[in-house]
Amino acid sequence: MPTPNSISSDKLARLVGTAGCPVVVDVRPDDAFRDDPRLIPSSVRRSVSDIEHWTADLVGRSAVVVCRHGHDLSHGAAAYLRQTGVTAETLDGGFDAWAEAGLPLVPEAKLPPRDARGRTVWVTRARPKVDRIACPWLIRRFVDPDAVFLFVPPPEVAAVAERFGGAAFDIDDPGAFWSHRGELCTFDVMVEELGLATPPLLHLAALVRGADTARPDLAPEAAGLLAASLGLSRIYADDLEQLDAGMLLYDAFYRWCRDATEETHNWPTNKPRERA
């Protein structure tokens, strides 16, 4: 039975990937993190030794605090956050309970270095259509909710990524790590490499691949995703504004992949009225 002010792994797993997911704060000490350098999806790592400095970042938001076993470290940090006005819970059983349940874990080693504020930086070509909106959505919802995305002219992507300590993605370079591989698009690669190959995300990946690689035969919904993506690219001249709008689009497609693929909507047919 969960302790007060705690949340189960199953319940948190239903929230991860949605716009309503709380901030997942991983407070495991460095030695515990070295033992298993993976993160619950969308986690941010913070140290309780300087909790007074990062509490302000959570004001007005809800949080789930994670330590190794769900004992005093996370309960103390959550209590500290609550007294500052943050709605904070702990993960029942901690990181170990999540891992033992076989839920997804993101390998920190696959991520670019974090900036001074703990954010990952990602660089790609300007004027996104499908993959370059789908990938930022995946990162913001499952990897780093505060990730920074830089959209720049194609010839400048590699140099900007190097200068700003970011990861280049979806670029026309056969040697690029975060890019197309064979018939797979960049979204496919990220789902696999980041340990996120759950059935809903694999289903969504098929839609993205079909829309991004002109293969609508891969999924009936791929043509609709492509149409919506091209429409957004015509509405917005600013790439970051387009990304903000695209977040809602992919939120909807993800929830359909996760919860509603079997649901249908049939308009009632007009039956002729029977004579008395």
Q: What pairing do the DSSP bridges indicate for beta strands 167-168 and 121-125?
A: parallel
* Predicted confidence band of residue 272 (pLDDT cuts 50, 70, 90): low
Please name the residue ranges forming H helices in 84-181.
94-100, 131-142, 157-163
* Predicted confidence band of residue 225 (pLDDT cuts 50, 70, 90): very high
How much is the pLDDT for 136? 98
Return the axis-axis angle of helices 131-142 and 186-193, rounded to nearest 10°: 20
* Average pLDDT over all residues of the chain: 94
How much is the pLDDT for 252? 98
CB-based contacts of 105: which residues, under 8 Å, 6+ apart? 38, 39, 40, 41, 98, 99, 195
pLDDT tens track for 95-148: 999 999 999 999 999 999 999 989 999 999 999 999 999 999 999 999 999 999
How much is the pLDDT for 265? 74
pLDDT tens track for 69-103: 999 999 999 999 999 999 999 999 999 999 999 99
How much is the pLDDT for 148? 98
User: In this model, does residue 269 exceed pLDDT 70?
Assistant: no
User: In this model, does residue 57 exceed pLDDT 70?
Assistant: yes
How much is the pLDDT for 3? 78
CA separation (Å) from 82 to 21, 146, 160, 273?
Answer: 18, 22, 40, 62
pLDDT tens track for 18-39: 999 999 999 999 999 999 999 9
How much is the pLDDT for 1? 55
How much is the pLDDT for 264? 80
pLDDT tens track for 137-190: 999 999 999 999 999 999 999 999 999 999 999 998 878 999 999 999 999 999
* Predicted confidence band of residue 55 (pLDDT cuts 50, 70, 90): very high
Compute the distance between CA of residue 72 and CA of residue 42 in angstroms, rounded to an integer. Answer: 23
How much is the pLDDT for 271? 57
pTM of the predicted model over 0.75: yes
Across 234-240, average pLDDT: 98
Strand, coil or helix: 271: coil
* Predicted confidence band of residue 261 (pLDDT cuts 50, 70, 90): confident
Contact 124, 149 (CB under 8 A): yes
How much is the pLDDT for 12? 98
